Each structure stands twice: as C-alpha cells, then as structure tokens.
Structure 1
Amino acid sequence: MKAHETVMSWVTEELRSGRLRIGDHLPGERALAETLEVSRGSLREALRVLEALGTIRTSTGSGPRSGTVITAAPEQALTLALNLQLATSHVQHADVYEVRLLLETWAASHADHVGGDWSDAERTLALMDDAGPAVDEFLKLDAEFHIALSRSAGNPLISTLMDALRTSIADHTLTRARSLPDWERTAERLRAEHRAIFVSFREGDAARATELLRAHIRGYYEETAAALES
C-alpha cells in the first residue's frame, strides 16, 4: 500500500470510529509517522496528496488554525479529476452538459419546496441584477444560483457534484459566453428565466421547476454552440 493510501485508510478509520472529526488536528508529523510506520518523507508526500484531494488543510505558524486539520472539501478532488479528464479529451463538454441536466432536473424534482431555504438563491438573483454587462461576474453568480437551488434537494453529494462541475468548466463557460453576438440581450433573457425558475421552486411546483430548468440549460447550451460554430 502506498503511503498516501496508508494515511487515507487511517484517517478514514479514525473518522468512522469518531476518534477524529472534521476540524480536528492530525497528530504531529513525527508521532503520525511512527504510528503508521512510514518515513517522514513518505508522510509529507502523502499529506500533499491528501491536501490536493481536499481531505486536509495544512497551515504553518501558531494558533488554532495552524498545523494539519481534517477538512471536508470533496469538490476539490472531483474538480481536479474533471479538469484532468477534460484536458485529455476523455470527457467532452457535451458530456458535462448532459450530466448537468441530469443533476439539476433531479434536484428540481426532489427539492424540499415547502421547507427549503431560498435566501441564498434570492440574494444571488439580486446580485445578478446588479452585475450589469460584466460576463465573468454574471457567470460566477449564475453558478452560485444553480448550486443554491441544487441544495434544496437535501442531497449533499448532488450539490458537491454541481460545485465541481461548474468549477471545472468555468473557463470553457466564459469562452462560450464571449462568443455570443449580443451578451447583454442574452443576460437579460437568462435573468428572466432565473426568476421564473426561482418562483417555481419557491411555490413548490416541482413539475414546472423541472421543465423550466431543463429548457433553460438546453437553450443556453444550444445558443452558445451555434455561436461557436458560426
């Protein structure tokens, strides 16, 4: 077993048993290397891998935030994996679009429309209204809006996957948006569609929310695809 696998296995078991919790510090480097019977060099390499995967956070200095802390950032590992898959063309952006459709429409049909907290989505809509024609700022808020809606389904894995997907295709999304002949007109239409989607979520109309969201995602994808081909 490789060093990072040994450390990951130990961390997993400690979390499962309750001996470690999110936010706890790992033992010091020397003590942990002795416990796991690995060299300190191998341990450092393992910790770098785990930090890249979002399992831990390391900080130098002193105080409660220093040292090696257990974190919960699975979207970091998923984003890294997706970026590599997209870079090697093993996964196409059309594949990401189809997965988005599946995730977001599922979330819409399973949302807690009665007890859901819509404050984040509503705040993001207001910020989008104030964003003006700035493409990059609008797209950032657009991603936050869609992720906020996905959280209403109460499935943390769905919103984590959504977060990773949106982060991994951010540059590609910006390129597609800049290819549009009249961004301001498109942005105005997207704002109106966002409002209608939000209202359907808040009013508990799952069928309408799902259909509006599907049309919204598909329409924008087809619009930008046509612009890139022209």
Structure 2
Amino acid sequence: MADMTAAWEPVPRSRTFELVLARIEEQILAGNLRVGDRLPPERELVELLGVSRAAVREALRVLEAQGVVRSRVGTGPASGSVISAMPSDGLSQLLRFHMALANFPLMDVVEARATLERSSARLAAERATEDDLARIRAPLARMDEAGLPREEFNDHDTAFHVAIAEAGGNRLMADMTIAVRSAVRHTLLTAFHKLSDWEAVAARLRAEHHAIYDAIVDHQPQRTGDLVEAHIRGIHRDVVMAVLEPGKPSGRTPRRE
C-alpha cells in the first residue's frame, strides 16, 4: 500500500487572508465602514491585525474582485482601498454562480422564482412609471416578431421578466430575479430545442406575457401576481418537465392568497 502520510498532513484552521476578510466584514456590519470610507493602509492593517502583508493584499484582492472595495492609486486622501457600493451585476453574478454550483433541484428553483416574481410583479403593478412600462414593452415587442430564433426569444423573455422586477422598485428582489432567471436559462433552452411544436409554445408565452403586461398597466397587483405565478409554474410543468422529465411529478400546488 502506498505511503499516505503526505496526504494526511495537518491543515491550518483557516487561511490568514480569510481572517482579514472576516475582520473587515465585521467593521462593515457594525457600521464602522461605509461606502466611500477608506480602509487603513496596508502597513497599518498588518500591524493592527498581526498578519503578513501578503495576507492583507490577498484579502484586498478578494474584496476588489467582489466589488466591495476599489483601489485608487496615489498618495492623497482619496488613494488606497475605498469601500464601494457593490454593483448589482456583481451580486447577481455571485448568486448565479452559487445557484449553478449548488445543484438545487429544479422544482426548488421554480418555487423560489415563482415566489420572487409574484411579489415583484405585484409591486410593479403598483409602482410602474411610464418609463418602466416602456422597458417592459420593448422585449415584449421583440418576442412578437415572427421567426425569432429560440435563443433570442429566450433572451427577450428574460429581459421582460427582469424589467418587471426592476419596475417593482426593490433592487434586491430585482437582482435575485436576474440571478434565478439566469440559472434556469440553459434548462429552458434545452427544453425549447426539444419541442416539436415550438411555435405553439411561443404563442402561449406571448399571450401570457401580454396578459401580465396588461394587468400591470391596469394597476391590478393581485391579478398580476396570480398571472405571473401561474405563467412560471405552468411553463415549467407543461413544457420543461414534460419534455425533460416526462412522467415525473410536477411539483407543489400554487399558493392562494
């Protein structure tokens, strides 16, 4: 039997740069660091935290990649590592990676999507401005074009749902909607490409989208939420599950309010 000693060497309890990250996170959560504040210089962080300069630099690289800090070159008061407002696309990207790697059951994703989009659609029906309505109409008009490739149709479908979430005015819900919708993109496209009656399904999607849009225009939150939830659950039940996993139970019954 091969010598396995090297494979079982003691491991450190934590990498040092992760401890630095934890300390910076504590300061942010405590409100001691806010957007626009500058972190102490590297040399000062080394002394304050009792770690190596390499650990501090690695922690700052991670924070910069996540969009939490941005680095400013120079020696003035605005130089160094500054706390930044995390861009929405950065949060969405992190959520997409998490969902892709966590391998959640499809019906869990559908449940989360239906719940999220129901709420944001209700808000859109209450709050949507004329500009919001124009942003929702744009992908709707593109989906109405004849002979649109399935990939393009799906991209405009995504844009339609994202525009509704953004019209709701809740940035976090919109970002989560973008992440969840992106996570099911490949699954939807796979199902769409397997369909022999794609045009019939596309017609159904268009009709349901127009009904949702009309409910938003008419400021009907309850109806909008109902339509969105029924649309999401119905497409996954009648198209995605029917094509990709025929014979498998289609999931939970939609809630009623």
The question of a shared fold, defined as TM-score above 0.5 by the shorter chain, is answered with: yes
Deviation of 1:2 after TM superposition, in Å, equals 1.4
3-state SS, counterpart of residue 113 of structure 1:
helix
Aligned pair 1:7/2:24, yes or no? yes
Aligned pair 1:98/2:115, yes or no? no
CA gap of 1:40–1:132, structure 2 versus 1, over 3 A, is: farther
Contact persistence 1:75–1:161 (CA under 8 A): yes
Deviation of 1:92 after TM superposition, in Å, equals 0.6
3-state SS, counterpart of residue 219 of structure 2:
coil
Q: What amino acid maps onto 1:159 in structure 2?
A: A
Instruction: State the TM-score, normalized to the length of structure 1.
Output: 0.77
Q: What amino acid maps onto 1:98 in structure 2?
A: E
Q: What amino acid maps onto 1:215 in structure 2?
A: A
Of residues 26-35 and 185-194 in structure 1, the stretch that sits farther from structure 2 once superposed is 26-35
| Distance in 2 between residues matched to 1:171 and 1:59, nearest whole Å | 38
Deviation of 1:175 after TM superposition, in Å, equals 1.6
| Distance in 1 between residues matched to 2:38 and 2:149, nearest whole Å | 41
Post-superposition CA distance 1:13-40 (Å, at most 9, x none):
5xx457533xx77676556656655433
Q: Name the % identity.
A: 37
Q: What amino acid maps onto 1:176 in structure 2?
A: A
Contact persistence 1:105–1:213 (CA under 8 A): yes
Describe how 1:133-144 pairs up with structure 2 within 5 A.
133-144=148-159
- Counterpart among 229, 236, 246 of residue 221 in structure 1: 236
3-state SS, counterpart of residue 126 of structure 2:
coil
| Distance in 1 between residues matched to 2:35 and 2:57, nearest whole Å | 20
Quick check: which has more Rg, 1 or 2? Answer: 2
Describe how 1:79-228 pairs up with structure 2 within 5 A.
79-86=96-103, 91-113=104-126, 115-116=128-129, 117-130=132-145, 132-222=147-237, 223-228=239-244
| Distance in 2 between residues matched to 1:140 and 1:31, nearest whole Å | 48
Q: What amino acid maps onto 1:146 in structure 2?
A: H
Aligned pair 1:50/2:67, yes or no? no
Deviation of 1:138 after TM superposition, in Å, equals 1.7
Report the number of matched residues: 217
Deviation of 1:103 after TM superposition, in Å, equals 1.0
Deviation of 1:109 after TM superposition, in Å, equals 2.8
| Distance in 1 between residues matched to 2:39 and 2:143, nearest whole Å | 41
Post-superposition CA distance 1:146-179 (Å, at most 9, x none):
1211223322221121111122232222222222
Instruction: State the TM-score, normalized to the length of structure 2.
Output: 0.70
Of residues 29-38 and 183-192 in structure 1, the stretch that sits farther from structure 2 once superposed is 29-38
Q: What amino acid maps onto 1:76 in structure 2?
A: Q
Q: Which runs of 5+ in 1 are unaligned?
A: 61-65
Q: What amino acid maps onto 1:183 in structure 2?
A: W
Contact persistence 1:150–1:159 (CA under 8 A): yes
Q: What amino acid maps onto 1:80 in structure 2?
A: F
Deviation of 1:112 after TM superposition, in Å, equals 4.8
Contact persistence 2:71–2:81 (CA under 8 A): yes
RMSD: 3.1
Contact persistence 1:113–1:202 (CA under 8 A): no
Query: What's the counterpart of residue 63 of structure 1?
Result: none
CA gap of 1:199–1:59, structure 2 versus 1, over 3 A, is: farther
Q: What amino acid maps onto 1:125 in structure 2?
A: L
Of residues 190-199 and 43-52 in structure 1, the stretch that sits farther from structure 2 once superposed is 43-52
